[in-house]
């Protein structure tokens, strides 16, 4: 069934898009997302997908056009990074509130300034509270697989929300790895036909979409939106189980890596999880009780699963690839909330901002009990 190819994360996602064959893709290029849409546009030009690509004038327009298309009744995908997501942010909130099941590939890149094109997660964290689902891939295979899972999750009747599939800029988007692709014909059967309850172009059932909500109703609509994203944890497990049946590749909202009896654990998002796994293997071979908790679904944050996975771990270190100046880094804040009252010792560090590498030696130092609030920073760190 599967066909192993040497692909970058960007190319792998473009293949997923070709196989999904969305109706509409409004998109604006930006590094390091560009290879995704460039590769996909070539597929469309070569007749390998029937998608209408809308070459919009900005990311604000890309998301606006995506909302229109998705609510009209067209399966819609887009892609962006960093400043593109920042420009889009206003409309991302509206996409979530209008419950538009748009799938977006995100090549994670540091926000300006100073301007930078390399990976960190500050762009994702900018829209942390927008109400969109955010799934983080560890490598190109996961970026491909999560992109196939994403439409089913976005369009799940209990969910109906945008889904972002996040992959680390350059580290994943531009690095080639062997990727197992599904057979082309298996994908439409898995993703199924697009369905939303009230397509705007159904003229036999006219609707008003995106109305004004005054103080008497705004709060209720926000609560409804929160309930939808909360339902996405269970919906993800349901869709992932079906995906695992098809591919043999299981996914969860978290991945527990050698956490059994671990005295010390690291919590991380994205490609860093791969590096941590190598170090965990090395230290486990040396008899040390260490493990990793990888968060695949950052939004919704699976707090109950995190609490269960880390129960019994003595010391937890959360690695954040984004900071929150003047406050707790975002992943650490989530884990702290999940572990409150559990008795785990919790610390954390910010690392890798603007594409700074995190080396295995840095991870060994964390497992050895080093207490640095900023890994890889020159000079005296600020308190976290």
Partner 1 sequence: MAELSAWNELPIGATVQPAGAPRALTGGWRTGEVPAADVSKCVNCLLCWLYCPDSAITLDGEAFTGFDLDYCKGCGICAEVCPADAIAMVAE
What does the binding site for partner 1 look like in residue numbers (CB under 8 A)? 97-100, 160, 197-198, 205-211, 213, 216-217, 219-221, 223-224, 227-228
Q: Which is nearer to partner 1, 50 or 205 (CB)?
A: 205
Asked whether 17 and 40 are in contact (CB, 8 A), the reply is yes
Least distance CB 155 / partner 1 (angstroms): 12
- Minimum separation from the CB atom of position 73 to partner 1 (A): 13
φ and ψ at 307, to 5 degrees?
-60, -45
Q: Compute the least distance from the CB of residue 96 to partner 1, in Å.
A: 9
Rounded Cα distance between 94 and 100, Å, is 9
Using alpha carbons only, give the angle 377, 380, 382 rounded to the nearest 5 degrees. 85
- Measured in degrees and rounded to the nearest 5, phi and psi for residue 83 equal -60, -30
Number of neighbouring beta carbons within 10 Å of residue 304: 11
Give the whole-angstrom CA distance, residue 350 versus residue 335. 14
* CA–CA gap between residue 159 and residue 133 (Å, rounded): 10
* Closer of 58 and 224 to partner 1 (Cβ): 224
Closest distance to partner 1 from the beta carbon of 200 (Å)? 9
Residue closer to partner 1 (CB basis): 76 or 147 = 76
**In which residue are the tokens 């991945």 written?**
255
Q: Is 380 exposed, middle or buried (0-12, 13-18, 19+ CB in 10 A)?
A: exposed
DSSP bridge pairs for 165: 105, 135
Nearer to partner 1, 178 or 210 (CB): 210
CB of 220 to partner 1, least distance (A): 4
> Of 55 and 224, which has the nearer Cβ to partner 1?
224
Whichever of 200 and 338 has its CB closer to partner 1, that residue is 200
What is the distance between the alpha carbons of residues 331 and 254, in angstroms, rounded to a whole number?
13
Q: How far is the CB of 222 from partner 1 (least distance, A)?
A: 8
Q: Within 13 Å of residue 86, how many CA atoms lie on the same side as its CB?
A: 12
Q: Which of 98, 358 has the CB closer to partner 1?
A: 98
Exposure string over 232-257, b if 16+ CB within 10 A, otherwise e: bbebbeebbeebeebbeeebbbbbbb
Least CB distance to partner 1 at residue 261 (A): 42
């Amino acid at each position: 069934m599967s066909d192993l190819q040497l692909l970058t994360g960007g190319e792998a996602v473009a293949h997923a898009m070709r196989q999904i064959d969305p109706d509409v893709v409004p998109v604006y290029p930006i590094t390091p997302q560009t290879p995704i849409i460039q590769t996909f546009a070539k597929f469309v030009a070569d007749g390998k997908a029937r998608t209408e690509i809308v070459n919009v004038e900005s990311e604000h327009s890309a998301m606006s056009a995506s909302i229109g298309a998705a609510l009209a009744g067209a399966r819609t995908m887009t892609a962006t990074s960093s400043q593109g997501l920042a420009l889009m942010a206003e409309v991302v909130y509206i996409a979530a509130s209008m419950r538009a099941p748009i799938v977006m590939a995100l090549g994670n890149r540091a926000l300006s300034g100073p301007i930078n094109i390399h990976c960190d997660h500050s762009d994702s964290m900018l829209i942390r509270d927008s109400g969109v689902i955010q799934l983080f891939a560890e490598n190109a295979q996961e970026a491909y697989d999560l992109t196939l899972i994403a439409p089913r999750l976005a369009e799940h009747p209990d969910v109906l929300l945008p889904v972002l599939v996040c992959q680390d800029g350059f580290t994943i988007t531009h690095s080639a790895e062997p990727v197992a692709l599904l057979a082309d014909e298996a994908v439409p059967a898995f993703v199924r036909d697009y369905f939303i309850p009230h397509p705007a172009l159904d003229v036999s059932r006219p609707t008003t979409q995106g109305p004004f909500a005054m103080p008497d109703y705004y709060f209720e609509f926000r609560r409804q939106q929160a309930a939808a994203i909360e339902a996405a944890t269970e919906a993800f497990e349901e869709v992932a189980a079906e995906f695992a049946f098809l591919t043999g590749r299981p996914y969860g909202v978290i991945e527990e890596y050698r956490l059994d009896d671990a005295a010390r654990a690291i919590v991380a998002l994205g490609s860093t999880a791969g590096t941590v796994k190598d170090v965990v293997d090395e230290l486990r071979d040396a008899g040390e009780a260490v493990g990793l908790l990888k968060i695949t679904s950052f939004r919704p944050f699976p707090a109950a699963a995190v609490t269960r996975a880390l129960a019994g771990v003595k010391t937890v270190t959360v690695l954040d690839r984004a900071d929150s100046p003047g406050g707790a880094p975002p992943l650490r804040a989530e884990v702290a909330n999940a572990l409150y009252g559990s008795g785990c010792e919790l610390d954390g560090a910010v690392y890798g901002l603007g594409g700074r590498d995190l080396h295995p030696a840095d991870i060994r130092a964390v497992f050895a009990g080093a207490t640095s609030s900023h890994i890889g920073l020159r000079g005296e760190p600020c308190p976290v």
